[in-house]
Chain A
């Protein structure tokens, strides 16, 4: 994230600023903006889950929405059909999503690059087919309606959007913090090691398969938490949530924002969901627009917004950051701390692939 490039003092300032903005949203903005923020947060968790795999490990997955949807479906079914009380449906839903990821993970984890993409696409489509065809359980294409958000500490998060917002914000912040910590941990470094040179990591004695497998299962957990909030907030779940469209949208959000940064995942989701709302008022051609945008981002800006900002950080905001007490760091220092600029590592990887071919 951005913190790489700023000092400790700047970091604290930034954290306080972001926390202040997030906490004040329900009071200073409209109800509509709060609802938008809630949407961005749960879809943001889905995007972060993809970002974790694609950015850290170099595995582009087209089935993260399946885990999002599995958790959402279980919450909807357990609550609306069996009337189970609050903590049970989400816990079961997330557990089932993790088990599913454990099963699918065994099949896909040996694959790399386009093979991984293709396998996850197929498995994601099979989950979609199940959601769409198994009508006696999933109610087919109409989906399950009437999912109510829980009552927590006597406050109904169904009635009060502000309460829902804070409930989700706490979980979201926890996950975002944990993912940031994970990226900096030895585990995160090992993942990037696998991304940059798998053979080297294997030769150094790291359990490459286990690393990939645990990252895959962990990413599914993040997506599943997003799915729980999605089902609670929208009150319904249908096959669209696990469709290929949903998966492609997630991928677009992650790449648009910047695949190597969690902040990019959230930024990309925010932009895409805003566009979704703006465009749906004007035209029905959202998919066309999305496809064209996807094409342009892939061809001309594969590092996304955050990646581009990082690349030009010094020139862009250096002087201003100096003024506000942020310290400019030299690219070398950033690189030594294990968070080298994304473009560099990407280039190295491309070079290596060419050699291997």
Chain B
């Protein structure tokens, strides 16, 4: 296999890992609340920049990662509690509110961190390249770490949703919202929690993405578009769909970057068009 194909494949996997982290939060909050949170991309970017500043201040990448996640979780909670909750029940208005918050956050990031592209420094322990055992290729250690972290997150999310009470409540809410609230569960609180979790994942994604890619104003919309494509392909509200969608999107994007860079993003039109015409609800989506 030519080297470029192997590398594109590995890069695609890394990107897919990041996209899954982004899409999982979005798809969960959509499944539960029927809101497409368009602030998700802005949370990604803002989380990345928060991580950048915290890293400068604390010197620890792990603290930066958690800071990015928790600050965005707090921001998401504020957005849910004070803005979205006021329009609950009208999903179109809720989605438009999230769009306006995305614009506000995006411009505030520009005010605070400026318009120049920045990168978060890779932590010392994860710098450099390493040999991947089976195929015997040199590959950046940090990207392998990211892939591992994403797998840990996938397993963690899966365990959380399958095994914990809260996770089971969330899944039940996705399937049949009315029944869950009729059983006397405070669905409002579950909403708020999932929204916060979704913001946390976006912030986490921002710090990770900011370390192996660039952080720059405008990145918020690019990531949001990619994340939405993942969800459209995989099916909205489905976590398994998010995994498959992230793999398809990440791999196509990565191969397109290597072979037809001029159309790297536009080429994603193809899977979107195919899925929409064959299975409008997405590969793993339920019939609307």
Contact = CB atoms under 8 A, between A and B. Distances in A.
A152 interface: no
Contact of B99 (A115, A129, A248): A248
A134 B110 CA distance: 26
B285 to A, nearest CB: 10
Given A121-B228, A287-B103, A106 B97 contact: no
Interface stretch (A31-39, A154-162, A206-214, A292-300): A292-300
B224 to A, nearest CB: 8
B262 A298 contact: no
B34 A294 contact: no
A2 interface: no
A67 B104 CA distance: 26
B228 A302 contact: no
Main secondary structure of the interface of A (DSSP, over half): helix
A279 to B, nearest CB: 12
Contact of A126 (B34, B36, B110, B266): B266
Contacts of A115: 288
A288 B112 CA distance: 13
Interface string B262-277: 1111101100110011
Classify chain B's interface size. 35 or more
B277 A295 contact: no
B195 interface: no
A113 interface: yes
B221 A110 contact: no
A84 interface: no
Interface stretch (B63-71, B84-92, B145-153): B84-92
A248 B107 CA distance: 14
Nearest to A255: B96
Interface string A129-161: 110011110000000000000000000000000
Interface in A342-357: 350, 353-354, 357
A298 B38 CA distance: 15
**How extensive is the interface on chain A, given as a class?**
35 or more
Contacts of B107: 285, 287-288, 291
Contacts, number: 117
A354 B95 contact: no
Contact of A60 (B34, B96, B101, B225): B96
A63 to B, nearest CB: 12
Given A285-B107, A291-B107, A134 B276 contact: no
A123 B268 CA distance: 10
B108 A288 contact: yes
A133 B261 contact: yes
Given A118-B36, A133-B265, A107 B92 contact: no
A135 B221 contact: no
B83 interface: yes
Interface string B98-136: 011111101110110000000000000000000000000
Contacts of A96: none
A244 to B, nearest CB: 5
Interface string B180-221: 000000000000000000000000000000000000000001
21 contacts: A106-B277, A107-B272, A107-B273, A110-B280, A113-B92, A117-B95, A118-B95, A122-B225, A122-B229, A122-B272, A126-B225, A126-B265, A130-B263, A248-B99, A285-B107, A285-B111, A291-B102, A292-B104, A294-B96, A295-B104, A302-B93
Given A133-B261, A244-B221, A295-B100, 14 more contacts: A110-B280, A114-B92, A114-B95, A119-B276, A122-B272, A126-B269, A129-B264, A130-B265, A251-B96, A288-B103, A291-B104, A298-B96, A299-B97, A350-B90
